[in-house]
Amino acid sequence: MNACPFSNPSQVFEDLAQARDQPGLTWSEVMNRWVVSRHDDIVTALHDPTTFSSRPTVPDMPSHVLEAFSGKVPLRGTLIGHDNPIHDRLRAAVNTFFMPRRIARFESWIEAQAHALIDEFYEEGEVDFRARFSSPLPLKVISHIVGLDPDRSEVYFKALQFFSSPGPEKLQPLVDFHDEAMAAIEARRYRRHDDLMSHVWNLRDSGEAEMDDFEMLSLFPGLMLAGHETSANLIVMALTHMLARPGAYETAQADDASRSRAIEEALRFEAPITGMPRRVTCPVNLGGTELKPGDEVFLAYASGNRDPHYYERPEEFDVERSGTQQHIGFAQGIHACLGAPLARLLLKVEMRVIADRLPNLRFAKAYEDREYLPVREVRALVDTPFAWDVTDEGRAKAGRHPKPSEIGNDDGWMSGHVIERRKVATDVVEIVLAADAGALPAWTPGAHAEIELPNSLIRQYSLTGGQIDDGRWRIAVLREADGRGGSRFMHDDLPMGSKVRVRPPRNHFPLSGAGPILLIAGGIGITPMIPMMAASDARGRSSHLLYLGKARAGMAYAGDLEARVPDRVTVWPAQEKGRFDLSGYLSALPAVTTVYCCGPERLIQAVEQACETYGLTCRVERFAPAEFDVGTNAPFEIELRSTGEVLPVAADETILSVLGRRGIFVQSTCQQGTCGTCEVGVVEGEILHRDSVLTKEEHAAGDTIMVCVSRCAGKRLVLKL
Ligand code: HEM
Ligand code: FES
């Protein structure tokens, strides 16, 4: 064993194994820090960012550099070098963008770009694969996703090399790069696209993200640094291991699921980040060693990933590995890799394109002769020659794929415009939308649609009116003076003909069951009730509408309804008639009645309570998420829809850990509700949301949960598992 586990790159895993077996932490001369080698100790430190500061992850710059960069280049890196409260404030602006199901819309673009790169070198039959493919691809992809020009990514790459090997001649290119990024940010201020810069502007405009322009600039260059070298090294190391084991490459390349499985194993077996440093801020004992403020540790993810207490046969590279233990190649906690969902998508697409385009792929040197760069945070091969058979069939594929420039991001949005608008009450405007081409999709009563305004704010509105399939959508919008700006825009800046984008409606508030129906609307909560009443009439179900509001003048459609169905609607403006006796009214209903309620939170809670008291079935649609008391955890149960199996979740457990113990693997990264990786569908039950990636509307919809942190607000959740 070498005294320092990082002194010999070809023996690093053997040395780390010995470090794990020794009591306390091991000192590393190479890292000049204490090495944390056991899985549990690493995870403990990751989840205690107050004691273990991330400041040393980004080294301080010498004074002449600080001078040259002052006011032009942010120096603390993207999130990674920030502690809280700054870290969480900045990360909240980018988290939701990277959720797996949202980032998936870039898949076709990534695939097209991968083909375009292979077209450039296919005929050569052998290249340094990292230089020609696995390094340029993530740079182009991240540039595109961020909102920079993917065709200039090589220029960006050269500029960013300052951080790996600083030199005076590299100062100006880095300043130029930041100027270009700042110009792109400025351009997005007024004209939004489907990219990360626009996403951050949207959140800044709506007040959901707080930062200044320079902080915003700091987010993007660091993403390219954090994301490109890591992905570039991972895939080439993974390929060498697969190709060296008989049948492993073919097994991994069977389909997308096997590709993803093999990539996860590669991230466990030899992740491109060996580990990251932390600085101790207060006296603490970690792994049996007493540490004092100022001490620095190196969290060796590469070692935790081979800890035999966590993984069976940890030294074996098994592309079919199953099991429920999530590797820590992307770390965990507040600094868990932001780009993990993108990396997973990118690597899977790379594998797929390689399988399609490079027959008989081989590592063009003996596996045993592969050489690694000296071990630092980054784990990388020195050179990466790969060869393949150049065939006529392969030639025929060149240039046959769509160009990246021809591909949009397939995110389900359609273009539409405003064809009618009229005032339907004080502070309520009705707007009718039509598709630019063809018809807008039909919908079902209770559904809401997502609408993106020309200023890029995205809002959800219940669809209203009697016609559900005439290719037009009707919404009514209450001006909310203290709102987040969407309703003000609808009222003041969306004239006839204005362009919008829309996404197909979703319905979390459908009419169901049999028997009589009571619809209770509070204020603008009337909108879904109108089509629901029409639908219940069409189905022959008796229904009554109770419409509560403050003043009659502000109650949209009240007059129409009274004129049309006078005996089946009760319009109750409190200013005229006083407070409505909700409890008394509901107590007199037959027990078979189903009550539907939409309106302000206070009304919904009162209706829910009264329905529980009188044994009535209650369905609600919230404008905002329910407010939960997150103080104390209560136990509850989860039911797996596929098998009907019921599992208890104790007060001190997470759903993720219970599923893991039962042998059901749900992929996770941060394990604290910020990345969206562990999302699971919910069929039934009330969710106690504690994540920070889902939108308010998604929380309110209640059909999806982040199982690492969120819980059940009632007794049981039925999961789509
Ligand atoms: C195989 C590819 C990747 C690996 C193995 C990886 C690994 C990691 C690890 C281990 C960390 C935690 C650092 C720490 O503990 O201090 C991290 C953080 C980070 N990664 Fe990745 N990464 C990959 C790809 C990406 C990509 C593609 C992006 C962006 C597009 C990205 C962006 C980030 C950012 C911004 C952070 C800092 C997060 C924070 O501090 O909140 N990474 N990554
Ligand atoms: S693992 Fe990140 S949200 Fe659950």
Distance 226 CA to ligand 1 centre (A): 6
pLDDT in tens, 555-602: 999 999 999 999 999 999 999 999 999 999 999 999 899 999 999 888
Distance 477 CA to ligand 1 centre (A): 41
Residue among 76, 230, 231, 344 whose CB has most ligand 1 atoms within 8 A, to mutate: 230
* Tokens 């993720």, residue located: 656
Query: Which pLDDT belongs to residue 255?
Result: 95
Residue among 96, 654, 675 whose CB has most ligand 2 atoms within 8 A, to mutate: 675
What does DSSP assign to residue 708? Answer: T
CA 585 to chain CA centroid, Å, is 44
Report whether 391 contacts 402 (CB < 8 A).
Answer: no
Query: Which pLDDT belongs to residue 111?
Result: 94
Tokens of 492: 């003041």
Distance 80 CA to ligand 1 centre (A): 8
Report whether 96 contacts 693 (CB < 8 A).
Answer: yes
Report whether 74 contacts 66 (CB < 8 A).
Answer: no
Query: Which pLDDT belongs to residue 202?
Result: 81
* Alpha carbons 258 and 265: distance in angstroms, whole number: 11
Interhelix angle 213-244/340-357, rounded to 10 degrees, is 40
Query: Which pLDDT belongs to residue 665?
Result: 82
Interhelix angle 196-205/213-244, rounded to 10 degrees, is 140
Number of Cβ within a 10 Å radius of residue 37: 29
What's the rounded mean pLDDT across residues 331-351? 96
pLDDT in tens, 224-251: 888 999 999 999 999 999 999 999 999 9
Higher pLDDT pick, 94 / 483? 94
At the top level of CATH, the class of 414-502 is mainly beta
Ligand 2 atom nearest to CA at 693: 3
What's the rounded mean pLDDT across residues 163-180? 83
Report whether 516 contacts 590 (CB < 8 A).
Answer: yes
Q: Which value, to the nearest 10 degrees, does the dihedral of the CA atoms of residues 331, 337, 341, 346 take?
A: -100
76, pLDDT greater than 80: no
Query: Which pLDDT belongs to residue 126?
Result: 98
pLDDT confidence bin for 186, thresholds 50/70/90: confident
Query: Which pLDDT belongs to residue 691?
Result: 85
Residue among 98, 677, 687, 698 whose CB has most ligand 2 atoms within 8 A, to mutate: 677
Provide long-range contacts, Cβ within 8 A and 24+ apart, for 645-653.
646/716, 649/711, 649/712
Q: What is the DSSP pairing of strand 716-719 with strand 289-291?
A: unpaired
Distance 340 CA to ligand 1 centre (A): 7
From 494, 490, 455, select the one nearest 476 (Cα to Cα).
Answer: 490
The secondary structure element, H or E, covering residue 500 is: strand 499-506
Q: Which range scores top for mean pLDDT: 208-212, 345-349, 445-449, 451-455?
A: 345-349
At the top level of CATH, the class of 517-622 is alpha beta
Would you say domain 636-719 falls under CATH 3.10.20.30? Answer: yes
Report whether 391 contacts 359 (CB < 8 A).
Answer: yes
Distance 231 CA to ligand 1 centre (A): 10
Residue among 47, 671, 692 whose CB has most ligand 2 atoms within 8 A, to mutate: 671
Q: Residue 381 pairs with which residues in a beta bridge?
A: 372
From 144, 154, 133, select the one nearest 234 (Cα to Cα).
Answer: 133
pLDDT confidence bin for 7, thresholds 50/70/90: confident
* Alpha carbons 319 and 51: distance in angstroms, whole number: 37
167, pLDDT greater than 80: no
Phi, psi of 222, deg, nearest 5: -60, -30
Ligand 2 atom nearest to CA at 709: 4
Ligand 1 atom nearest to CA at 336: 12
3-state secondary structure 644-686: CCEEEECCCCCHHHHHHHCCCCCCCCCCCCCCCCCEEEEEECC
Of 79-88, 232-241, 450-459, the least confident: 450-459
Distance 658 CA to ligand 2 centre (A): 15
From 346, 398, 400, select the one nearest 121 (Cα to Cα).
Answer: 398
* Alpha carbons 244 and 316: distance in angstroms, whole number: 13
Q: Which CATH number is 9-397 given?
A: 1.10.630.10
Of 62-76, 162-176, 185-199, 608-622, the least confident: 62-76
Distance 74 CA to ligand 2 centre (A): 28
What's the rounded mean pLDDT across residues 519-530? 96
Query: Which pLDDT belongs to residue 623?
Result: 60
Sign of torsion, CA 535 538 539 542? positive
Ligand at shortest distance from the CA of 680: 2
CA 104 to chain CA centroid, Å, is 10
Distance 258 CA to ligand 2 centre (A): 22
Ligand 1 atom nearest to CA at 277: 16
Ligand 2 atom nearest to CA at 708: 4
What's the rounded mean pLDDT across residues 433-442? 83
Distance 217 CA to ligand 1 centre (A): 18
Query: Which pLDDT belongs to residue 316?
Result: 96
Q: How many CA atoms lie within 13 A of 127 on its CB side?
A: 18
Query: Which pLDDT belongs to residue 404?
Result: 79
* Alpha carbons 205 and 492: distance in angstroms, whole number: 16
Query: Which pLDDT belongs to residue 708?
Result: 92
From 231, 245, 198, select the one nearest 96 (Cα to Cα).
Answer: 198
Q: Residue 291 pairs with which residues in a beta bridge?
A: 284
Q: Residue 544 pairs with which residues in a beta bridge?
A: 518
Distance 331 CA to ligand 1 centre (A): 8
pLDDT in tens, 418-431: 999 999 999 999 99
Q: What is the DSSP pairing of strand 458-462 with strand 517-522?
A: unpaired
3-state secondary structure of 431: strand
677, pLDDT greater than 90: no
Please give the radius of gyration of the chain, using alpha carbons only, rounded to the nearest integer.
29
What's the rounded mean pLDDT across residues 661-688? 86
What does DSSP assign to residue 511? Answer: -
What's the rounded mean pLDDT across residues 332-343? 95
pLDDT confidence bin for 484, thresholds 50/70/90: low
Q: Whose CA is nearest to atom 3 of ligand 2?
A: 673
Phi, psi of 259, deg, nearest 5: -65, -45
Ligand 2 atom nearest to CA at 674: 3
107, pLDDT greater than 50: yes
C-alpha pair distances (Å), 227 with each of 134, 239, 246, 290, 582 = 12, 19, 31, 34, 56
Ligand at shortest distance from the CA of 36: 1
Ligand 2 atom nearest to CA at 656: 4
Sign of torsion, CA 609 611 617 623? negative
C-alpha pair distances (Å), 229 with each of 130, 139, 168, 238 = 9, 9, 23, 14
pLDDT confidence bin for 628, thresholds 50/70/90: very low
Distance 666 CA to ligand 2 centre (A): 10
Query: Which pLDDT belongs to residue 207?
Result: 77
% of the chain beyond a pLDDT of 90: 61
pLDDT in tens, 368-413: 999 999 988 999 999 999 999 999 998 988 887 877 776 665 556 6
Average pLDDT, the chain: 89
Going through 103-255 in order, the beta strands assigned E by DSSP cover 126-128
* Alpha carbons 48 and 569: distance in angstroms, whole number: 57
Number of Cβ within a 10 Å radius of residue 343: 27
Ligand at shortest distance from the CA of 348: 1
615 by Cβ neighbours in 10 Å (0-12 / 13-18 / 19+) ranks as exposed
Phi, psi of 162, deg, nearest 5: -50, -40
Residue among 98, 326, 708, 719 whose CB has most ligand 2 atoms within 8 A, to mutate: 708
pLDDT confidence bin for 527, thresholds 50/70/90: very high
Query: Which pLDDT belongs to residue 510?
Result: 80
Ligand 2 atom nearest to CA at 667: 1
Query: Which pLDDT belongs to residue 314?
Result: 95
Report whether 650 contacts 711 (CB < 8 A).
Answer: no
603, pLDDT greater than 90: yes
* Alpha carbons 158 and 177: distance in angstroms, whole number: 10
48, pLDDT greater than 50: yes
Query: Which pLDDT belongs to residue 457?
Result: 67
Q: What is the DSSP pairing of strand 569-573 with strand 499-506?
A: unpaired
Structural domain boundaries in the chain = 9-397, 414-502, 517-622, 636-719
The model's pTM is: 0.70
Query: Which pLDDT belongs to residue 105?
Result: 86
Sign of torsion, CA 331 335 340 341? positive
Of 89-93, 359-363, 618-622, the least confident: 618-622
Query: Which pLDDT belongs to residue 408?
Result: 60
